[in-house]
Amino acid sequence: MTWFRSARDPRVERLDSHVKILVANRGEIAVRILRACRELGVPSVAVYSECDRTALHVRQADEAVDVGPSPAAESYLNIGRILTAAEQTGATAIHPGYGFLAENATFARDCRQSGLVFIGPDADVIETMGGKTTARHAAIEAGVPVVPGTEALPDTLSGAELGACADDVGYPLFIKAVAGGGGRGMRRVASRAGLVPGIAAARSEAGTAFGESAVYLERFLENARHIEVQVLGDQHGTIMPFVERECSIQRRHQKVIEESPSVAVTPDVRAALAGAAVDLCAAVGYTNAGTLEFLLDSENQFYFLEMNTRLQVEHPVTELVTGVDLVQWQIRIARGERLTLDMERVGVPDGHAIECRVYAEDPDAGFMPSPGRISSLRRPSGPGVRDDSGVEAGFEVPVFYDSMISKVVVWAPDRASAIERMRRALSEYEIGGITTAIPALLWVLGQEEFADGRFDTGFLDRALADRAGESFSALPAEETDLAFIAAALFRYFSEGDQRGKGDDDTGPTPWRRAGRLEGLRR
């Protein structure tokens, strides 16, 4: 049996029975990866910062190591401390999850140099595909269409020269940071007047966020959809593209709702997207899990935007429509196994899946993070519902990290029933002690355009602007709950001596009454 490749000589595969995976992450994704380790019978190591000492992921691992103070730079982002934790526990491989060090080529290289397998693509491939202009180059060379745009803009260009570059690209245009991803350092410019100040602002923002201030220009495609293609590549040259994910529902470049398949993607477009994904991945020698982002316009033309060289937050929707465990496959690929999935299974959706990200944010305060202690928690369950959560009652949601605490993912045979199922699941969620954006998710799910699948990347920002700050906290669903509680209280206190003597066919049974009272007492 092949096992993890020897890190000291990447070309040699050796038998190694001492496989142990360190999960260099926290929250729901650490929990997700640790579950995969458990199912594969692979021992695991968790790492935690000071504020995560009692976190769920810590107790899900076989061992756990303190990697430092709460600020990420001193713990989850500290390469030296993570590598020391691996050495101390005898870990042989590192799964980076998403965020933190997941797309850091230096980290991937350092793992390799320390004799550890990095569960992801090679450092060189992370470097090529992690830079947006280098990734665009690779796409052009592989014959994959990209949005019209420029190279990185030299900072020696005059205003007039920048204006000429912009005229070639055409307005409206997007100023994008070469480094980073996820929408930071991006700026839409409608006309020549906004160009030079926009470039200055984008450079400064990118410099602060990524330590690299280079920017370039792209034509801004309006009324397009954000469609992405998951791939897995093994170390024997096989690349498998999966059915697309639709990720157009974003707020300030933060994804909110994702689904698979996309209502806009026909079988022909799906096949073309898959072909483009394979061509580009093959050209750069891509291995392990990755995702290619595309824009799809209303004429069914698609354009490659960028690649994420890691597992993504929204990977569960793909898992639910294909029945493939992507995290298990990441581990199996890293230990040299061949992909044995069939194209029919991964390329054609079975039913429909939707994911809603549950953020600890206050939608009535401009979606400000709302950290704090979770006093009580009732999680959704039942048919077709998966809740990938990183928290539990009693846990203090830290101020130091991303505010996403859970992902509710549903599967149903068709999109309409998946939406209904999601509304049911979200209304089961009860999170006490902190504020979450669940009311805003329920509002989006109730929009006619969403139900009809008539939306593009501009939908959520437009719909939020149309609400003009109207409160989310007085939604009908919640009013119904309040009315129910009031009615139950009224009934209980007004029945007096009549309790138990009434007609039990119409009133609550003693069991139900007892249950309700028990609930009210909490």
Binding mask 78-97 for ligand MV4 (x = CB under 6 A): --------------------
Question: Of the listed pieces 4-12, 57-65, 220-228, 334-342, which binds ligand MV4 according to CB under 6 A?
Answer: 220-228
Instruction: Check binding of 166 to ligand MV4 (CB under 6 A).
Output: no
Please count the residues of this chain forming the interface with ligand MV4, following the rule CB under 6 A.
Answer: 19
Residue 484 sits at φ, ψ, to 5 deg, of -65, -45
State in angstroms the smallest separation of the CB of 471 from ligand MV4: 24
Residue 259 binds ligand MV4 (CB under 6 A):
no
Give burial (CB, 10 Å; 0-12/13-18/19+) of 492: middle
Q: Which helix (H) or strand (E) holds 133?
A: helix 132-141
CA-atom Rg of the chain in angstroms: 25
Nearer to ligand MV4, 250 or 406 (CB): 250
Decide if residue 457 touches ligand MV4 (CB under 6 A). yes
Going across the sheet that includes 117-118, the strands are: 63-66, 44-48, 21-23, 93-95, 117-118
For the chain, helix, strand, coil in percent to 5 are: 40, 20, 40
Q: At a CB cut-off of 8 Å and minimum separation 6, what does 232 contact?
A: 239, 240, 242, 288, 289, 326, 329, 330, 333, 339, 341
Q: For residue 291, what are its two tokens? A: 């995702």
Q: Which is nearer to ligand MV4, 2 or 150 (CB)?
A: 150
110, 205, 246, 293: which one binds ligand MV4 (CB under 6 A):
293
Residues whose CB falls within 8 Å of the CB of residue 193, separated by 6 or more in sequence, listed in order? none
> Smallest distance from the beta carbon of 188 to ligand MV4, in angstroms?
7
Q: What residue is closest to ligand MV4 based on CB?
A: 457
Grouping H, G, I as helix, E, B as strand and the rest as coil, residue 306 is: strand
User: To the nearest whole angstrom, how small is the minimum distance from the Cβ of residue 510 to ligand MV4?
Assistant: 53
Among 115, 183, 394, 519, binds ligand MV4 (CB under 6 A): 183
Q: Is 216 in the site for ligand MV4 (CB under 6 A)?
A: no
Stretch that binds ligand MV4, among 27-35, 212-220, 265-273, 466-474 (CB under 6 A): 212-220
| Residues designated as active site | 310
* Cα 246 from Cα 225, distance rounded (Å): 8
To the nearest whole angstrom, how small is the minimum distance from the Cβ of residue 248 to ligand MV4?
6
* Residues sharing a CB contact under 8 Å with residue 500, sequence separation 6 or more, in sequence order: 510
| Residue of 306, 319, 361, 402 interacting with ligand MV4 (CB under 6 A) | 306
Q: Which stretch binds ligand MV4 (CB under 6 A): 31-39, 269-277, 322-330, 453-461?
A: 453-461
Amino acid at 452: D
Least distance from ligand MV4 to the Cβ atom of residue 255, Å: 8
Pairing state between β 173-177 and 187-189: antiparallel
Among 44, 75, 89, 250, binds ligand MV4 (CB under 6 A): 250
| CB closer to ligand MV4 out of 189 and 221 | 221
- Closest separation in Å from C-beta 492 to ligand MV4: 49
Residue 208 corresponds to which amino acid? T
Stretch that binds ligand MV4, among 21-29, 246-254, 280-288, 464-472 (CB under 6 A): 246-254
- How many Å apart are CA 458 and CA 262, to the nearest integer? 16
DSSP secondary structure code for residue 342 in this structure = -
Compute how many other C-beta atoms are within 10 angstroms of the C-beta atom of residue 40: 16
Q: Which residues bind ligand MV4 (CB under 6 A)?
A: 147, 174, 183, 218-221, 224, 226, 248, 250, 253, 293, 295, 305-306, 457-458, 461
